Amino acid sequence: MPSDSAILTSSRNTSLPRVGTPKPAFTSSLLAILGGQAASGAVALLTEITYARLLGPAARGVISLCLMSMAFGSLLAGLGGEGVVVYWASRSHKKTSGWIPAVLFWGCLGCAVAGVLWILAYWQLHLPVLRGISPRSARVVLVGIPAAVLFAYMMALASGTERFRLRSACAALRQAVGITSFVFLVLLIGRNVEAALWGNLVGLAVGSLVALLLLRNDIRRNWRIDGTVEHLKATLSYGLRGQVGNLATFFSYRLDVFIVNYFLDPAQLGFYALGVVVSEALWQIPQAAASALFPRTARTVEHDATEFTCFILRQVLLITTLCGIAVAALSPFVIPVVFGARFGPSVPVIWWILPGTIALSLGKVACADLAGRGKNGYSSVFAFICLAVTAFLDWFLIPRMGIIGAAFASSIAYFLDALLILVALRHELRVSWRSVLIPARSDVEAYRLAWFRLRSALAQGLTKRVTPAEIFASPEGD
């Protein structure tokens, strides 16, 4: 097996033969994603502050409920197409193919089914867990489902082709347009939930349109109607293998929102939703690493993927733990100042959910590696186990402990999910727990080398322009 010191070496000598545009180094991809997520995160923070200051806890709770309903509808409607797009786009070496029309066919069918189910759930069955959503808000959710599916497909195509700067720019644009639209609509129709939902919908539409224009060449290359039929079964099969798990994972992560809304009032849901958003901000780095790792593993699975994934897992655990400690220490002071004193009850939620959030940061990266190897069935099985645990704990703890019980239940479910995924990863990669969790001496050397390059770049000043990717990359590239 290659030594740990080799994990930062370029894939130019070890990866599969490249066709078309050369793939970027992992470091460049990661920095591009993080840059976009930083911009999106800043706008998302501004959005949360605006919601909190202008609308208050109760309205914030209803907004969270509507967005979760839209997210569930789009996840159901997508039929796993997002993972299909990343997998097919990253592995296809053909100049032309018909898999994109096949994915869109299933997506359209899924949107129709999801729309009917939403109409039944809200207007016919009047499900108690949807209490607080107005008919006007429900109509926005209905329209938002296909918009969210399209945006997810576009982001997946950008990830699969490893055009991460484009992906980041479109994601940030979506957030910026969303908050701008919300402010405009507040002036036009007043401070209400509908203004926030319509603003989010406009952001999705604009982000999808821009991504569609920028990715038109990739779409055209894989748009062949006469090849669609032969891809229908394959795309649906791969998508459904991950889709069942995605749905279970969604409810494992977000069932608490619906149950809190069932047992408690919208204001408590607003406190809880803000605490979840703040704690899960720690997932920015793991999600960026997972997005970059998925296509890289898919194209280097026969080469250095194992050692590289272990290296990334160790760094994610270290960084996320340090950031989690900082969030726990600062939240009692920052939350009341930034969001208002009335959101003070969100602080204990952050504390209780943080341990599970840190643990699941590893699970997200491990899932990306397994998906890149075509082993996305693990996440489906484990998601159902965690869903059962979440449902039991939510129904038992929320009536007794309120939103603290919801946070505790989520933390336990997150930790269990991460543990199961890591066990599966160790089985597939045949590595030790030490390789996955404990920093190695070569990791320290990598940091030392990055620091040396940073100092050299700063010392050079204006004599030479050095990019962040050049600072943190190895001599060979990755």
pLDDT tens string 47-103: 888 898 888 899 999 999 999 999 999 988 988 888 788 877 776 544 556 678 888
pLDDT tens string 392-417: 999 999 999 999 999 999 999 999 99
- pLDDT surpassing 70 at residue 42: yes
* pLDDT in the model for residue 477: 43
Q: What average pLDDT score do residues 30-45 get?
A: 74
- pLDDT surpassing 80 at residue 148: yes
Q: Is 108 exposed, middle or buried (0-12, 13-18, 19+ CB in 10 A)?
A: middle
Per the CB < 8 A criterion, the answer to whether 409 and 390 are in contact is: yes
pLDDT tens string 430-470: 888 888 888 777 767 766 776 676 666 666 654 444 444 44
Distances (CA, A) of 111 to 119, 242, 349: 12, 18, 34
- pLDDT surpassing 50 at residue 420: yes
Q: What average pLDDT score do residues 283-290 get?
A: 86
Alpha-carbon distance of 361 to 314, in angstroms, equals 11
* pLDDT in the model for residue 10: 33
- pLDDT surpassing 90 at residue 150: yes
The model's pTM is 0.75
The model's confidence at residue 136, banded by pLDDT at 50, 70 and 90, is very high
Region of poorest pLDDT, from 2-6, 98-102, 121-125, 367-371:
2-6
If we measure between CA atoms, which residue out of 216, 219, 247 comes closest to residue 104? 219
Per the CB < 8 A criterion, the answer to whether 171 and 36 are in contact is: yes
pLDDT tens string 318-371: 889 999 999 999 999 999 999 988 999 999 999 999 999 999 999 889 988 888
